[in-house]
Amino acid sequence: MSSLFITSAIRDLIPTHPEPYPGELVNFAHSLYTASKMNVPLSGSDEIARYHLACYTVVEYFKDSYSLPDPFLTKIPIPSKRFNQLLFAFKTTMTTITQNTPKAKRIVDVQLQTPSTTPFSSKSTESYIDKIRQSKLKQQDLQQQQVNRSLTNQLLEVAATPPSTPQKAPRSKRTQLSPSKLSPYKARAKLVITTPILVSFCNKFYIPEHITMHILQTFKLYKHVVPNGWGLLVGLVGISYMKLNKQRISKKLNLKTKLFKLLHVTQQGGLSYDECKQYIREVTRMICTQKWIKEAKHDFDTDTETESLMKGIAASDSVMSSLGSFLDSSVLYVTMKDSPKVQKWVKSIRRTTPSTPVRSPAPATI
């Protein structure tokens, strides 16, 4: 599936170049993407551009070798200014991969005289020519194997090194917006769903890679049927998560409700909570008979991943409970520094207040 995303990213960068793309270009982009996961950590909003960053670096590197056009930045899922800031770390990783990789020397195939040009050549001469050609071919194969072996070692070394801490870019001064632009009643523009955004949304719920591939294919198939793309994506991710964690949902109470709340918080299509639930029901009805959703399961144990997802659900639940309430426990100011002062004040009140004995009423006289 990675090659599919890499090809899509290269198509966004150089749309005028004909396909299929060179195999060396795709392989280097895949290697750089794998190495950058260990050495270049990205935030959640920048993670969707990792494929484009790796492909942009490789396209610039092989631009002269394959006569590639200048890459475009119009379809990058993040702002171009932020993209250029992150590009330096990928170029550094690409340099560490390629600087120590020996390049195979090009062997010029010297055209030797053949029996057709030398009619008086003997059998010994022909055997000698064959031996020279075979030795050159063997030498070329050995050099190519050494180049591939050294490149593999470089990638393993880069993957084994600890990730470097990225330097913070200087913050630009923000222009003060007018109150009309900060108005909460103005509707936000819906984010167009691209392949990197879809993959990033699935990764937030720890959907396996093979299930993400089916979600992508199903999304492309039904995006013209369902009017809202985010509703379709929320439904696909919701039914996939419930199918993958069917036993856990049946054992733990309110887990499905927390999942719906987290889907509502993370989606960027402006859907309400009830609309998210409705899209999940409709998408379940549409794809419940497909083979991939019936046989959906994890390839390996994901208890740790599910626990981390539950922490995220709990965090989002606490945030949702505090919205619109100024007396919620999450926004109360609590401190223990004033406790001794309060106790001292109570003791002073007890000392200053005179203790008057309580007298029983006198018996009435008849």
Mean pLDDT of 149-170: 64
pLDDT at position 103, please? 52
Q: Residue 9: which residues within 8 A CB-CB, separation 6 or more?
A: 29, 51, 52, 54, 55, 196
pLDDT above 50 for 304: no
Q: 161 exposed, middle or buried (CB, 10 Å; 0-12, 13-18, 19+)?
A: exposed
The domain limits of the chain are 1-97, 187-304
Say if CB 296 and CB 236 are below 8 A apart.
no
Looking at residue 126, its amino acid is: E
Say if CB 265 and CB 312 are below 8 A apart.
no
- Closest by CA to 104, choosing from 71, 51, 147, is 147
Length of the chain measured in residues: 366
pLDDT at position 311, please? 53
Say if CB 36 and CB 54 are below 8 A apart.
yes
- Closest by CA to 23, choosing from 7, 2, 34, is 7
pLDDT at position 326, please? 45
pLDDT above 80 for 355: no
Mean pLDDT of 331-358: 65
The per-residue pLDDT for range 129-141, each reduced to its tens digit, is 777 777 777 777 7
pLDDT above 70 for 316: no
The per-residue pLDDT for range 264-276, each reduced to its tens digit, is 999 988 899 999 9
pTM: predicted TM-score of the whole model, two decimal places: 0.36
Q: Taking all residues of the chain, what is their mean pLDDT, rounded to a whole number?
A: 75
The per-residue pLDDT for range 197-247, each reduced to its tens digit, is 999 999 989 899 899 999 999 999 898 888 889 999 999 999 999 989 888
Cα 205 from Cα 236, distance rounded (Å): 12
Distances from the Cα of 324 to the Cα of 183, 259, 268, 327, 331, angstroms: 16, 21, 20, 9, 11
Mean pLDDT of 334-347: 69
- Reported in sequence order, the residue ranges of the chain that DSSP labels E, i.e. its strands, are none
Task: Catalogue the long-range contacts made by 185-194 (C-beta closer than 8 Å, 24 or more residues apart).
Answer: 187/270, 188/270, 190/230, 190/268, 190/269, 190/270, 191/268, 191/269, 192/229, 193/219, 193/229, 193/230, 193/233, 194/48, 194/75, 194/77
pLDDT at position 93, please? 84
Helix (H, G, I), strand (E, B) or coil at 209: helix
